[in-house]
Amino acid sequence: MDNQAVNSKKIAAGKAIEYIRNGMTLGLGTGSTAYWAIQGIGEMVKHGLSVKAVATSIQSESLARELNIPLIPFSEVDRLDITIDGADEVDEKLNLIKGGGGALLREKIVAAATRFYIIIVDESKLVRHLGKFPLPVEVAPFGWELTMRRLSELNCTPRMRMAGDKPFLTDNQHYILDCAFGEILDPAGLHRKVSDITGVMEDGFFINMADIVVAGSPGGETRIL
């Protein structure tokens, strides 16, 4: 990743953590942008901030542990005050495609329990219409071939996500099919069709979920959408 992209992500994360207050319960996102938010929260905890958090992936959980961010099991959560997470694409209505890091199912469960859901991105993720980034779809390993055929009937080209020579396994032991649809004009409608396919555990559309999006630019500015 080039330095400019890293800087944009770091700047966006720095702005987002300004919303955090003492006593809050937080959701920790996954990916290279959420990484900077978790680092920032770790720094705040070191300086006396008192918060509790749940992580959206094993990877983020390990990072939070290293930084001494107090973690609680998701079973103890009714509502989260703030979740800060990244995205692969953000459209003009703040609909998102997520799941490039494979954590979409947990990310969506956490997002759905969140009062104020902040998305942080470098500005290259802002698009007019979603779809250039293939839609990640988490599927059950049992019968995945048939699920893949049903997905391709929706006019996309699905690809099994691989980790070396084996299918990539999510933290929930599912597979990911990355579905190239091209430009998507009706994400909510397509989300319903994808979700209707048996064997689909969750898709990477996050429709009407983001409360704000903080976009960072390499020059160090942030834009709040």
Which one of 107, 123, 138, 202 is the catalytic residue? 107
Task: Indicate the SS3 state at residue 124.
Answer: helix
Q: How many helices (H) and strands (E) in the chain?
A: 6, 15
Nearest approach in angstroms of CB 123 to ligand 5RP is: 12
Q: If you count them, how many residues does the chain have? A: 225
Cβ nearer to ligand 5RP, comparing 32 with 217: 32
Q: Is 178 annotated as a binding residue?
A: no
The nearest distance, CB 194 to ligand 5RP, in angstroms, is 16
Residue 98 marked in a binding site? yes
Cβ closest to ligand 5RP, residue 61 vs residue 85: 85
Q: Flag whether 170 is marked binding.
A: no
Closer to ligand 5RP by Cβ: residue 76 or 87: 87
Question: Are residues 184 and 131 in contact, defined by beta-carbon separation less than 8 angstroms?
Answer: yes
In the residue annotation, 107 being an active-site residue is answered as yes
Residue 31: DSSP 8-state: S
Binding site for ligand 5RP (CB under 6 A): 29-34, 85-88, 98-104, 107
The answer to whether 176 touches 137, Cβ cutoff 8 Å, is yes
Contact 133, 103 (CB under 8 A): no
86 is in an annotated binding site: yes
| Nearest CB to ligand 5RP, comparing residues 32 and 49 | 32
Sign of the torsion formed by the C-alpha atoms of 194, 203, 131 and 170: negative
Distance CA 3, CA 83 (A): 26
Min CB(136)–ligand 5RP separation in Å: 7
- One-letter amino acid at 87 equals A
Phi, psi of 199, deg, nearest 5: 105, -20
Q: Residue 57, annotated ligand binder?
A: no
Q: Which residues are annotated as a binding site for substrate?
A: 30-33, 85-88, 98-101, 125
Task: Give catalytic residues, as residue numbers.
Answer: 107
